[in-house]
Amino acid sequence: MADSTNSIENLRMLLIHLNELKVGNLFSKDGDLINSGNDVWPNFALLNSIGQLQQHYELLNTQIIIFNLYQDQKQLLKSNNIFQLDYWYAMEKNKLSKFRSKQLFRVQELSDLKIWADIATSVFYPNNKSLFEIVKKVFQSEKIDFFLFNNFETPIGTAMVFYDTQKAGVYFISIQKDHQKLGYGKKLILELEGFICQKGIESIVLQSTRQGLEMYKKVGYSINEKINLFFKYERNRNI
């Protein structure tokens, strides 16, 4: 895909792998890639430009990343009920921490995966409870690991890692809202790096929100690209 960063390439490979595991409906044409069909994750569309937007009919409830986008084209997106949702930052770190403690552990039982899904749902999808049924389908994948982060033996955080051939893509980094801004997110990502190092991988890529940007920068992540994130609404909305 043109102008893609390493983190977006990892996301692209993740969407393809999820489709192989029967998660979502994959549509690919002329370098564009869409995985949709679920109520929540992994509804993503990676589009080279807006030129073929009319051809993509399953974009509702989908997070949309558009490359080669010009400022004056945003009005055309609005006319298709596609509005800018937020900014993401494609980030990367090549010298990983080897820090380890007993607060982070890899999920190995379905009961713990349910806890993982409940925490991730409360942070990312508070109005939708279908995430557990989705992640159950990928739980046994050798390319994906799920992690829980504990505070005094009580799970309060989550992470998911997708391993491609050279890098690890990190997703679903979350801390429960009543434990946020207490330094747990930093501990989680540093411990996660320790796990990833054990696999012989020395590079992590991820997409950060604006809220998490400073935390990732403090622990050594650098920005590769600022990404415009869009979302298609069912009908026109006031902006």
- Record the tokens describing residue 15, joined without a space: 């969407």
Give the mean model confidence (pLDDT) for residues 88-100: 90
Please give the pLDDT value at position 3: 38
161 occurs within a structural domain: yes
236 pLDDT above the threshold of 80: no
Q: Examine residue 95 and state whether it is found in any structural domain, yes or no.
A: no
Helix, coil or strand: residue 168: strand
65 and 114 assigned to the same domain: no
| pLDDT interval class at 53 (50, 70, 90) | low
Say if CB 30 and CB 114 are below 8 A apart: no
For residue 233 the two structure tokens come to 């609404």
**Total count of residues recorded for the chain:** 239
**pLDDT tens digits for 128-147?**
888 999 999 999 999 999 99
What is the CATH number for 154? 3.40.630.30
Angle, alpha carbons 179-183-187 (nearest 5°)? 110
Token output for 51: 């030129």
**Digit-coded pLDDT (tens) for 145-159:** 999 999 999 999 999
Give yes or no: residues 50 and 126 share one domain.
Answer: no
Q: What angle do CA 70, 71, 75 make, to 5 degrees?
A: 110
Cβ of 45: how many Cβ atoms within 10 Å?
23
For residue 176, give the nearest of 161, 197, 154 by alpha carbon.
154
Based on the fold, state whether residues 26 and 74 are members of the same structural domain. yes
Note the helical H segments in 98-149.
110-124, 131-135
In a shared domain, residues 83 and 110: no
Contact 75, 205 (CB under 8 A): no
In sequence order, the 6+-apart residues with CB closer than 8 A to the CB of 61 are: 36, 39, 43, 232
Residue 28 resides in a domain: yes
Count of domains observed in the chain: 2
Q: Do 116 and 186 sit in the same domain of this protein?
A: yes
Residues 122 and 72 in one domain: no
Domain membership of residue 49 (yes or no) is yes
CA–CA separation, 205 vs 194, rounded Å?
Answer: 15
Pair 123, 185 in one domain? yes
The answer to whether residues 14 and 53 belong to one domain is: yes
Tell me the mean pLDDT in the region 79-96. 90
Among left, alpha and beta (phi > 0; psi -120 to 50; other), residue 69 is beta
Mean pLDDT of all residues in 53-68: 74
CA gap 196, 179 in Å, rounded: 24
* Spatial separation of the C-alpha atoms in residues 127 and 238, rounded to whole Å: 21
* Residue with the larger pLDDT of the pair 100 and 219: 219
Specify whether 123 is located in the same domain as 178.
yes
Q: Is residue 1 part of a domain?
A: no
- 109 shares a domain with 170: yes
Percentage of the chain modeled with pLDDT above 90 = 55
Q: Which domain holds residue 51?
A: 6-87+228-232
CA distance 202 to 95: 6
Q: What is the dihedral of CA 233, 90, 106, 21, to 10 degrees?
A: 50
One domain, residues 197 and 114: yes
Same domain, 25 and 70: yes
